[in-house]
Amino acid sequence: MIVMVFAWGVSYLASDENKIIGSTIIEISGFEYSISPMQLLIILVLIILAAWIFLRLISLFLAILRFINGDETAVSRYFDRNRERKGFRALSEGMMALASGEGSIALSKAKRAEKYLKKPSLTNLLAAQAAEIAGEAKHAEEIYKELILDPTTRFVGVRGIMKKRLSEGDTDTALKLAKKAFSLKPKHEETQDVLISLQTLDSDWRGARKTLSAKLKYGNLPRDIHKRRDAVLALSEAAEIIETDKRIDAQVMAIEANRLSPDLVPAAVLVAKEYLADDKKKNAIKVIKKAWESQPHPDLAAIYSEIYEGESPEDREKGFKLLAKMNPKHVETKTMMAEMYLQAEDFPNARRSLGDSYEIMPNVRTLTLIAAIEKGEGADDSVIRKWLTKALSAPRGPQWVCENCSTAHSVWRPTCFNCNALDTLTWMDVPETKAEVALGNERAPFVLDVLNSNDGKADQLDLDVEEDLTEFENSKNDNDGSKS
Ligand SMILES: [Zn+2]
């Protein structure tokens, strides 16, 4: 064929003079052929077609040869491509179904995609999520277990089962899985958060601190927040060690917590207590003053009062004045000074220190304080009763409240007992509906001592006050009961 074309081409070029207008003369092996342009065109097309068919036959022949020799790809490539197309179509349809929340459709598409693609790492991801949406929890778990077997999808599998255990409330297993997930992918922020919250729940403060520093390292936490939370965790560890009698370790940890976050009241209180137990009064005073500067708190005032126990009233007053200077305008400072003077039965100074706090911040504490001052100054029963009645319906005053869920806590905790968030407790006024019933002044019992002091005519008053309080408490409890 090629020879023919060549021969013709040569003769065509060589025989310019043979060319008659409208036709071509071809000479082959001594014979001459006269061809019209249309015939020439047809011949050319036929030649090209024949050449193409010939080449296809050769390649098919070679493919068959290779197939016979055991190389499947050559023949099956065509079919493979077809399968792949079908598989990816099923996969994309499945993802679409997943995105629109159609779990069972997504699941069947995932199965179809798997049939064509044979790529479990890819299709299982879709199938697991589809099973979750379709509510087939058991099926989802089986798929997650398959994902765990493949190193490329192990993290997704572990995370999937971890989330399932979390939703079932099996925090022990969830913790183990979270640790595994964290070791697979330490940069993953969600895993870090889950692990920290499970570790704090498990009181594994040291582990939580490690995870927290990983969070800082990978840039998922601002440095100041890390410092504060680290302090909270260190304090929690310290508080726990104290219970096991390893006081030296606890002290070190508490001092560390206080150093990391000097305004963390419970840390300051714990450190001050430890210093006081070792008779290091100066250190205790320093720690409390530092904390008072940024966060005045009755617990700090209470431990400060212990430091000056047994000292002369003058020294005591001097000491308290030093503390008050750290934050003189704060209501807590005024209340603290008023309580100090009240304890010393210096009623005019108590009143002066309290100022108008009971009007600006009328709560149980400030109102019982003014009632006690009035009583100490010999005021009329009706006046005292007026303040006490006000106190009964007044807000409790600041408490440790979770910023996350607004739950009030009677004592500070590293995590909220309601929502389990870490370091969300803030000393602030309780939102009305969540307030606990509180009567009297549990932090300063001497206020009630003053109110209950016997000077003849007050007997009747004391009785009535107690009756009122009991009645009030009962009615509050009833209300709470009917609400829940
Ligand atoms: Zn909470």
Per domain, the residue ranges of the chain are: 2-60, 86-150, 151-204, 222-328
The percentage of the chain sitting over the pLDDT mark of 90, rounded to a whole number, equals 45
d(CA 286, CA 289): 5
Distance 418 CA to ligand 1 centre (A): 5
Helices (H), 153-280: 154-168, 171-184, 189-201, 205-217, 223-243, 247-260, 265-277
Q: From the CA of 429, how far away is ligand 1's center (Å)?
A: 15
Q: What's the mean pLDDT in 429-445?
A: 54
How far does residue 306's CA lie from ligand 1's centre (Å)? 32
Residue among 289, 283, 317 nearest 301 (CA): 289
Q: Which of 24-28, 226-230, 254-258 has the lowest mean pLDDT?
A: 24-28
Q: How far is the CA of 403 from the centre of ligand 1 (A)?
A: 7
Q: What is the pLDDT of residue 23?
A: 67
Average pLDDT over residues 386-394: 89
CB atoms within 10 A of CB 87: 20
How confident is the model at residue 443, as a pLDDT? 57
Determine the Cα–Cα distance for residues 381 and 371; give it in Å rounded to an integer.
10
Cα 396 to middle of ligand 1, angstroms: 19
Q: Vertex 466, ends 461 and 469: CA angle to 5°?
A: 125
102, burial (CB in 10 Å: exposed 0-12, middle 13-18, buried 19+): middle
On average, the pLDDT of the chain sits at 83
Could you tell me the distance, in angstroms and rounded to a whole number, from the CA of residue 229 to the centre of ligand 1? Answer: 16
Question: What is the dotted CATH code of the domain comprising 222-328?
Answer: 1.25.40.10
Is residue 423 pLDDT above 50, yes or no? Answer: yes
420 C-alpha to center of ligand 1: Å? 6
Model confidence band, residue 433 (pLDDT cutoffs 50, 70, 90): very low
Q: How many angstroms is it from 296 CA to the middle of ligand 1?
A: 23
CA count, 13 A, side-chain hemisphere, 392? 17
* Lowest-pLDDT choice from 7-21, 245-259, 346-360, 417-431: 7-21
* The pLDDT of residue 12: 56
Q: Tell how far the Cα of 234 is from the centroid of ligand 1, in angstroms.
A: 20
Task: For residue 132, give both structure tokens.
Answer: 């979750």
Q: Which element (helix H / strand E) includes 398?
A: strand 398-402
Residue 267 has pLDDT above 50, yes or no: yes
User: Pairing between strand 398-402 and 425-429?
Assistant: antiparallel
Query: Which of 165-179, 236-250, 315-329, 443-457 has the weakest average pLDDT?
Result: 443-457
Alpha carbon of 421 to ligand 1 centroid (Å): 6
484 band by pLDDT with thresholds 50, 70 and 90 = very low
Q: What is residue 296's predicted lDDT score, i.e. its pLDDT?
A: 94
Q: Is 170 helix (H, G, I), strand (E, B) or coil?
A: coil
Say how many Å lie between the CA of residue 220 and the centre of ligand 1.
22
